[in-house]
Amino acid sequence: MFISGIQQIGIGVSNVHEAFKWYREHFGMDVPMFEEAAVAGLMLPYTGGEPQSRHAILALNMQGGGGMEILQYTGRTPVPPLFSRNSATSVSASPK
């Protein structure tokens, strides 16, 4: 089995418009497909069953075809991930 392509990657950020500018410049994600502020009902399995308000932009790079969905939760303050980088090649999970 191998990966033959990536359709879409979702990236949570603290400022959706600032992040969109960065991803546009550095990754060429320059074709916005949609921008929407709404409740993310399809994310309930990943949000503990609690609906979360968010602002999202889905953008594509037509040269590679993949998309990035950049989203900012608007109903709560983002928190950093629960892991730390120990070296350039390994990542370890921190206990809760």
Q: Is residue 92 in a domain?
A: no
Q: Is residue 58 in a domain?
A: yes
**Is pLDDT at 33 greater than 60 in this prediction?**
yes
Q: Is residue 68 in a domain?
A: yes
> Domain range for residue 14?
8-77
d(C-alpha 24, C-alpha 85), whole Å: 26
Q: What is the pTM of this model?
A: 0.71
Q: Is residue 95 in a domain?
A: no
pLDDT at 8: 84
Q: Is residue 91 in a domain?
A: no
Give the count of domains, the chain: 1
Q: Is residue 21 in a domain?
A: yes
Q: Is residue 42 in a domain?
A: yes
Q: Is residue 84 in a domain?
A: no
d(C-alpha 76, C-alpha 14), whole Å: 10
**Is pLDDT at 43 greater than 90 in this prediction?**
no
CA dihedral 47, 11, 21, 50 (to 10 degrees): -10
